[in-house]
Structures are given as C-alpha cells and as structure tokens.
Chains A and B, each alone.
Chain A
C-alpha cells in the first residue's frame, strides 16, 4: 500500500470496517480527507468490525457488470453510534429484509478487477458484506 492510499484502501488492507469522524462527531464510511458535514479533518475512527447494524433498504440486481456476481444483492446498513448513526453500502451473503439485524463479514475479493472498466491498481477490491444475525445470538 502506498503513502497515497485512501482511508478506504487502508481499512480494507487491515480487514477493518472503520467509521471516520471529525471533532464534531460527524462520522462517515468511507472516510474523507475533510468532513463532508463541517469541513474539519477526520482524525478519529470507530471500529464497526464487531458491531451489528440494521438494514435500511436492499435490492437484488439481476443484470450486473462483467466480473460481478449475478444476482448481486446489495443493502444499505445503518450502525448506531453514541451520538449519531452512520450508514454504509455493502453486498449481502444471504437474503435480508428491511429492519433486519446484520453483521459485517470480510470478503477478500468482492468482484473480479480484471474484468472491470476501472484499473485494478486504482483501488482495493476486498471489503465487507453483511449476513443476518440469528435472533439467538
């Protein structure tokens, strides 16, 4: 990983799902050099790797680009933080439903970079998908 790597790339390299926040407690996934809400540097992180979140919406995509699994089920999942919430997009490992509790699971290769329009070296290709949390857990 080069010094120019984005926070997204670094997080993926360490198999961590991190929310990035500024001094005003605005958090985002992925991180940004400056907070989109207030412009302050994002200098702190919250580790969501072991947390669970709630499915806010989901879709199952039947027509996918080259190198992407088909069908591709995607969800936007919201994590509750101390003072706010933070959302992220990810694939799902199993069928999910609105309001369902899910947890992140690290996947080495989300899509085949060799078949994508984007250059393989442009970004990281690992990341987190979601799986439902059993009511017994």
Chain B
C-alpha cells in the first residue's frame, strides 16, 4: 500500500522553555491542524525520542501526547534509535500504513537538551557506545575528529572544505525562521573557532537543541479525501553498521548509509541521479560529505568538492540541507529525522519561503551513533 504524507509541522528549534511533552504536543496539534484532521481519527501515534528519561527524567511521553491531544484510544509507541530515532519513526509510520494496520498515523519527534551542559549532554549521547569505547571517554565528536583526520589525509582534501559545509548550512538557516542559528558564518570564523576534537572545530559541529516536528500519514488511495496537497513516501530503508566504530574496514565509508539508501532507492524505483534535493545528517560537517559519497552522489574522496564548488548550494544542481541541516537548523535528537522530512515535504509542495528549490523528489538521511544505524527515505510529488 502506497503511503502519503498529509501534513507537517515543526516548532522553532533552539533553546526553548517548554519540556519535551509540551514540545511534542505543540508539534502534534500543529500538524493535525495543517492537515485539517481531527485527533480522534488517529489509529497510530509514534513518538520518536532518544533520551527524555536521561535528559529530563520524563518517560511515557507517547502516552502523554496521545492523551493531551485527544487521540485516546489510538495505539501509541515510542521509537528509539539514538540520534536516528526520527528516521526510525518515519520507517515505523510507513510500516503502519503500508501494512494496513493503520489508516491514519501521526509521527512526532521531540527532544529537550539545552538544560544540560555540553559535557553532560555529550555523555548521555556517548552512552550509546560499546563499553570498550565508553571507558576511554569517547564522545560522538571525538569519532568525527578521528575520521576527519583519516579523510583529509587520504584524499588530500583541504581543511577549508569542511568549513564550506558549515558556511552553506548557516546561509540556508538564515532563510529558515524555525532554525536555531540566524546568523551567517564565514570561512575565517569557522577556521579559527575553538578546537573541539582535532582537526575539527566548534563550527564543524551541530549545537544542543530543543524542538519537535511532526508528520501525518495515510494510504495514498484515500489521501485526496483529506487534501489535494500531499506527497508520497515512496521509499524507506534502514541498516546498521558495526556498533564498535574502530572495527570498520574503512571508517570513512558509511556502509549503513549506502545500504539504507539502496533499499530506499529500490523501493522508490529511482537512483541518486533522480534526487532533486536532500536533507542529510550533518551532525558534523564531515558527515554531509561522507553521505554524499555513500549515496553515490559523489565518488569516494570527492564529496568535499561539492560545498566548495556550489553543487550543494540552494541554487546548485543538488541542494543539500536547505533547512540549515543539523548544523544550523539544530539537532534535537529524536526530532531531527522528522524535521528533515518536514523540510522535504514543504519543498516538494512549494511551501517554503526564501529557500524554495525546484524539486519533484527528495531524500532524507538520519544517522544514529557515528553511522551505527541509519534510515533513509525518498519522498516525491504525488502524480
């Protein structure tokens, strides 16, 4: 059964006063309003979230949201896949409709992080690592530093090429009123910012973020009963890589991205050449580059050129992260994969002010850990 996306919403991302339950409820209600659907009609409600218990001592958020928005007795379930929880929620929502188990599914992704220090939040996220890694005090940014050194050395890529990704995504975020960062960045500032994990610096990384995003799904066969403005979730894929990062044959090759992308492309009946716009998981600048290579947009070792030569700019041949990406829109862990699809949904329907691109088919990629678990999705304009 083909799956349609009927509506979308997101709260502003950034440092927000509401806690995760309120953030999720706000996005859920806005999404239902966007589609003009009554909450009592929902069959399933999925809540993507990585660590609300650890971040704020709040569990059971999916049930709280179902109650608060008037969706009881809808079936509800939390979807957790670390920082890929939003993408995994997209997969779960697709399954619920495609299987026939639900005829109307709401997906909400939410996380509240900024009440913690960078060190504390980083440790919550690092708790996903293997004991043999965690004992050494690894963080996700440290994996990025280790991998960036290998990539830059092996492919003789200039250090500035990473800064170009950050500058591009900040420029895009300036055009997104819901983005966390509303200021331009220049190469010199990025290159001289404080070191986080050599050779990477502060502006290579995404910030801590609070926020929520939501999407509403139904079978394509009944979508026009709700609206003429919908998009089709034509492909989804999910895959894993080694839990222990150093056990990979080549740490610069994101095999779970390649495998999940292959599944999503196959289901959608398309390939990378058919993608007009992409929202990739730029937790760190390097990851946008590695995903361009793993999906087949760029040859291995060549992805760094795309932000430098403008290929991935808003007016380039493959706009990447028009929302500002994790880097500048922000990265509220469980909400990110949902927000990526919200951006593609709006781009495909021509609903974006100031950063609209010409697109009929878009791609999302949500990464858990340092490529440990990945979901990819293809969305396209309804025929």
Residue numbers of A with Cβ under 8 A of B are 6, 8-9, 28-30, 36, 56-69, 72, 74-76, 87-91, 98, 110-111, 116-118, 122-127
Contact = CB atoms under 8 A, between A and B. Distances in A.
A30 B130 contact: yes
B246 interface: yes
Contacts of A59: 142, 145-146, 149, 197-200
A69 B131 CA distance: 17
10 contacts: A8-B132, A58-B149, A60-B145, A63-B139, A65-B137, A67-B137, A74-B136, A88-B246, A89-B132, A118-B134
Contact of A62 (B153, B196, B244): B196
A66 to B, nearest CB: 6
B146 A74 contact: yes
Contacts of A74: 136-138, 142, 145-146
Q: Which of B132, B141, B153, B247 has the most CB of A within 10 A?
A: B132
Q: How large is the interface on B (under 10, 10 to 19, 20 to 34, 35 or more residues)?
A: 35 or more
Contact of A116 (B123, B153, B247): B123
A60 B246 CA distance: 17
How would you classify the secondary structure of chain B's contact residues: helix, strand, loop or mixed? helix
B135 A124 contact: yes
Interface of B: 54, 118-120, 122-124, 126-127, 130-139, 141-142, 145-147, 149-150, 153, 194-200, 242, 244-247, 251
A110 B135 CA distance: 6
Contacts of B150: 56-57
Nearest to A67: B137
Nearest to A89: B246
Contacts of A125: 135
A99 to B, nearest CB: 10
A75 B195 CA distance: 17
Given A36-B242, A88-B246, A116-B123, A64 B139 contact: yes
Contact of B196 (A61, A117, A127): A61
